[in-house]
Amino acid sequence: MSERNISPDNQLESIQSMLSYGHKSIHLEKHTLILWGVGIGFLTAFTHDVSSIFYEQGHTLGRIFQISFVAIVLLAITWFDYRKTRAIRAVRDETISLVQRKVTFSIWMIFAFALLLDIYANIYLGGGRKMFGVYLVLGGIVLIMFGLYSERWYRWSGVVLILIGLVIMFMLQPSNTSRLLTASVFTAGGIGIAYLQPYAVTKVKCVWFSLLWVLGAVVLTTIVYQLDYYLDIKPDQEKVWQWSEYQQANPDGKHVVRISAGNQIPVELTVSGDVFEGKAEADLQLKVSKNIDIEFKNGKPTGIYRIDDGSWFESNDALFTRRFIRQTIVTDKQGPKLLREIEIGTQRRLGGLSGD
Amino acid sequence: MSADKPLDSILHQPVRTRLVAFLAGRGEATFKELKELLQVTDGNLDAHLRKLSAVNYISSRKQQVNNRFQTFYSLTEKGRDNLKSYVASLQSLLLSGKDNG
């Protein structure tokens, strides 16, 4: 074809389409989704148990081990995924596009951010379990980022992950249930999204296949919950002691003790701060409104409890500061006055903090 | 830019235009990827790659994969600059054509 016969219009169109094709050629390998899904699922499910030995030696040691463990597993997944992806592409005689490299780099930054959140939650919020929903939302953002340059299925799956993450953040208390659910969503999601990807070509199929892997996650949660967690913590003893009876007998071994509704339990409150001299303490007597059964071992609570003959829980999941109201008012007689109201509950709910 | 400026003869060829534009978007590509994309024979593609390499529009690097060498092609700074100039020339050609027509 001679130079004169080539139309500028066609040439510009050709350049436009090739540039666009070069930019959009992103492809997620199957192993990447499975590796990250199962890997993060594993971290969510087992980090707490693996770290517990170190937590027994001290909280600081436990936290250092937990954060190091998470960082090492994430780095190992990143390294293995990087090597495997390049090996697969080399065998297929394919390169990794510039855009994919940049998106992958952004995603590593997001995982680094998630690790920082975990560190923050461990130091300031008393544990990473409060961040499960946030990790799912971040996972969803990662999938949407990939989806923007490739297929609808990834965008769709990302939105589903974000929705589940929001439900866990706002509707569920940070408990073993939310831990297992998060772990199952990551695991079932990673495997499901990878294997269903070739079939999810239309919007309708995207909906059905999303429901399928979400269902898989729920089934996995239920199975693990029944097999491991619930049966594991349920006390063996049939007899429920009354508190006064237990106090008098003071028996050795594990026993379940009931604090019946109507009994008073003391709530010790200490207030101090850098603008106050010393601290003020108060012993408040509050009546319990429900029967609380607590497991004791040799006179000390083990942390296992239930309310009104319901399911058994661990004390980590027991009492939440559901609402904390802070106000500063000015009264005629006393001048400025600080008001603090704390609501404690066994179920978390929205609207945790208010005031001025 | 003047519409009278001659178009870059290396880039003003459909296969080479598409090849260079793809590399600009993709970053790097193997011989096989380029061949599948452009739907040309090995000999034809090799000839175009040689022409582009001779004027330093593209560069190549070799990497050993499973006991064989794989060649990766990418655009050089010169190639990228010339593609931009070429696009500008085409646009000014179009504009001058509209003005005259």
| A289: Cα within 13 Å, side-chain hemisphere | 3
Q: Which residues of A282-307 are buried (b: 16+ CB within 10 A; e: fewer)?
A: eeeeeeeeebbbbbbeeeeeeebbbb
Residue pLDDT, tens place only, A62-82: 888 888 898 899 999 999 999
A271 touches chain B (CB under 8 A): no
Q: Judge: A6–B27 Cβ closer than 8 Å, yes or no.
A: no
Closest-approach residue (CA) in chain B for A15: B21
Dump the DSSP string for A119-160: HHHHHHSS-GGGGHHHHHHHHHHHHHHHHHHS-HHHHHHHHH
Rounded-to-integer distance, Cα A339 and Cα A53, Å: 41
A222/A225 Cα distance (integer angstroms): 5
Type of residue found at A65:
F
Whether the full predicted model's pTM is greater than 0.80, yes or no, is no
pLDDT confidence band for A350 (50 / 70 / 90): very low
Asked if A19 lies within 8 A of B97 by C-beta distance, the reply is no
A102 touches chain B (CB under 8 A): no
> What interface predicted TM-score (ipTM) does this complex get?
0.85
Beta carbons within 8 Å of A252's beta carbon, 6+ residues apart: A298
In A99-243, the DSSP E strands lie at: 240-242
Kindly give the confidence (pLDDT) of every residue in chain B, 101 residues in length, as a single tens digit, with 9 standing for 90 and above: 444 668 889 999 999 999 999 999 888 899 988 998 899 999 999 999 999 999 999 999 988 777 778 889 999 999 999 999 999 999 888 887 766 65
CB contact (8 A) between residue B33 and residue A12: no
Q: Do A3 and B9 touch (CB under 8 A)?
A: yes
Distance CA B71, CA B60 (A): 6
Point out the residue among A3, A9, A93 whose CB comes nearest to the CB of B12: A3
Distance CA A163, CA A168 (A): 9
Which residues from chain B sit within 8 angstroms of residue A20, using beta carbons? 25
Q: Contact A21/B37, CB-based, under 8 Å? A: yes
